[in-house]
Amino acid sequence: MSTRPRPRDSVALMEGYHSPQIDVEVRLNTNESPESAPREFVDAVTAEIADIEWHRYPDRAATGLRDAIGRLHDVDGDRVFAANGSNEVLQTLLLTYGGPGTTAAVFEPTYALHSHLGRITGTTVAEGERGPDFVLDIDEVARVLRSVRPAITFLCSPNNPTGVVDPPDTTAAVLELVRETGGLLCVDEAYGQFAPHSALDLLGVDVPLVVTRTYSKTWAMAAARLGYLIGPEWVVAELEKVVLPYHLDAMTQIAGRVALDHLDAMRRRVAALVEERNRLTAALAELPVDVWPSGANFVLFRPTGVAGGEVWRRLTERSVLVRDCSSWPRLAGCLRVTVGTAEEDDRFLFALREILT
């Protein structure tokens, strides 16, 4: 009788990072855009895909895509690293600058993949605490960075799952601490276009800062799995050594490049979602819940009087799916709802009122 090989011990003890995929009528749990990209974009991508030489590998350097992203952010293409979703960008960053013998710093509660990918890559994860209302505490950041001198410090702004946006002076202060202690600062801006400001303004040729973005949210392209990083050329050059060859297929490169020809449509979609987010937040404030202001396309809230997990269950019974954060560290009782269409949000609010009142 053969025995099954075991994964390495650190992996065997892990839980995967997953969100429930349940067949419901209203799905508001994964922060996707509630509307698809415009038809003109789909037609343009389809036309270019027809010309792919399927027997050839894609452009290994993704030059056309990287140059187009660079023009969007007014930087050269060699300061852009693109990959299969921003999660692959984060993983490559950790494979390059993290690993055994290094530390990554995070400030909880925050995006769980920063810690999860850190542990997968053998990087020690140092957890700092956010202050009241989940605001970043610069004194706590200083304590963590000076004590462990991390190779990578992760900030997420707007923060997932709380929606909090770090003020520009706070991000600048963290960057100065990173300069003092060594290492690299990664600001995860998966929801950056929904926020009033960005860490992109702090980038520089010799600045140890990278900013990550994704096409999944604001560009309504979750199906494409495309993300990127903007940073110094010397960081991008090191990442290119680590990433698998031809990792970004021809169709994804086309979709990412063509999307940038539809910038106005994206901006209109983002503006509409911000307006709907404000309406949703105001409606939640009238219910028996604690609700946090959000700079993203989702809202974190905590029901009062009924356990968060129980509210989640009753919502699914009404064919409405939100993200249950109630068992996550520091988020007892909390749920997170993605901003959907007005009709979807009304369906969610009706169900929530029925449960709580």
Q: What is the mean pLDDT of residues 148-174?
A: 97
Contact 355, 139 (CB under 8 A): no
Task: Judge whether residue 102 has pLDDT over 80.
Answer: yes
* Fold held by 9-37+264-356: Aspartate Aminotransferase, domain 1 (3.90.1150)
The pLDDT assigned to 22 comes to 82
The beta-strand segments (E) located in the chain are 26-28, 80-83, 103-108, 124-129, 152-156, 184-188, 209-214, 227-230, 289-291, 298-303, 320-324, 335-338
Task: Judge whether residue 14 has pLDDT over 60.
Answer: no
End-to-end C-alpha distance for the chain, whole angstroms: 60
Contact 155, 107 (CB under 8 A): yes
Q: How many Å apart are CA 218 and CA 273, to the nearest integer?
A: 9
Q: How many Å apart are CA 206 and CA 294, to the nearest integer?
A: 32
Q: How many Å apart are CA 139 and CA 143, to the nearest integer?
A: 6
Contact 252, 92 (CB under 8 A): no
Architecture of the domain spanning 39-262: 3-Layer(aba) Sandwich (3.40)
For the segment 35-54, what is each residue's pLDDT rounded down to a tens digit? 999 999 999 999 999 999 99
The pLDDT assigned to 34 comes to 95
Contact 37, 221 (CB under 8 A): yes
**Which sequence spans correspond to the domains of the chain?**
9-37+264-356, 39-262
| Structure-derived torsion over alpha carbons of residues 69, 75, 78, 83, reported in degrees to the nearest 10 | -30
Fold match, 9-37+264-356 / 39-262: no
Bridge partner residues of 227 (DSSP): 83, 214
Which of the four pLDDT bands, split at 50, 70 and 90, describes residue 15? low
Predicted TM-score (pTM) above 0.85: yes
